[in-house]
Amino acid sequence: MAEQGTFHDAREERFGRLYEDLVPGERFRHWPGKTVTEADDHLFCLLTMSASPIHIDAHYASEEMPEGRNIVLGTYVYSLVAGMSVADLSGRAVSNLGVERLRHLTPVKHGDTLYAYSTVADRRLSESRPGYGIVSVETWGDNQLGERVIEFQRAFLVPCREQGS
């Protein structure tokens, strides 16, 4: 059967936004959430050589950690929550420019489900890269109980509409 009509391009419509589409004050609830498994945490720990017993040794945790449970590596929590925002915000970015005010507020445990949210904080046209803008977003993650576990602000360089089309 021959295809007729115009196709919507998911790469254009669903993965990140252009500078003009990221308006200060706009809020996003990123979807879906992610349940953090023990395997996720262990793999990330081993890939990054951060294999502390507080993250990977259940026996150690049972004797030495509050609640007797391992806690998830904080850099994994940051990576996961930031990654959850990419499809909505920075999927078209050409550069990540920095992270500020990164705070871990509540420990994440194996089996917790995280949900991510963002607000566009600011934007401005780049002085050094015509056709691009710098966007700052505030992002946070909550667990399944609605407790804030992490918050941070990040900035990225994204094309303007005429550059990105």
Torsion of CA 152, 113, 28, 163, to 10 degrees: 70
Which pLDDT band holds residue 9 (cuts at 50, 70, 90)? low
**Structural contact between residues 110 and 15, judged by C-beta atoms closer than 8 angstroms:** no
Superfamily of domain 19-164: Hotdog Thioesterase (3.10.129.10)
Average pLDDT of the residues of the chain: 91
Q: What is the mean pLDDT of residues 5-32?
A: 80
Per cent of the chain over pLDDT 70 is 90
Span between the terminal Cα atoms of the chain, in Å: 30
Q: CA-CA distance, 99 to 76, in Å (whole number)?
A: 15
Residue 6 has pLDDT above 70, yes or no: no
Q: What is the mean pLDDT of residues 71-99?
A: 95
- Domain ranges in the chain are 19-164
Q: What is the mean pLDDT of residues 140-152?
A: 98
Among 60-64, 145-149, 160-164, whose mean pLDDT is lowest? 160-164
Which pLDDT band holds residue 16 (cuts at 50, 70, 90)? confident
* Alpha carbon 101 to chain centroid, angstroms: 15
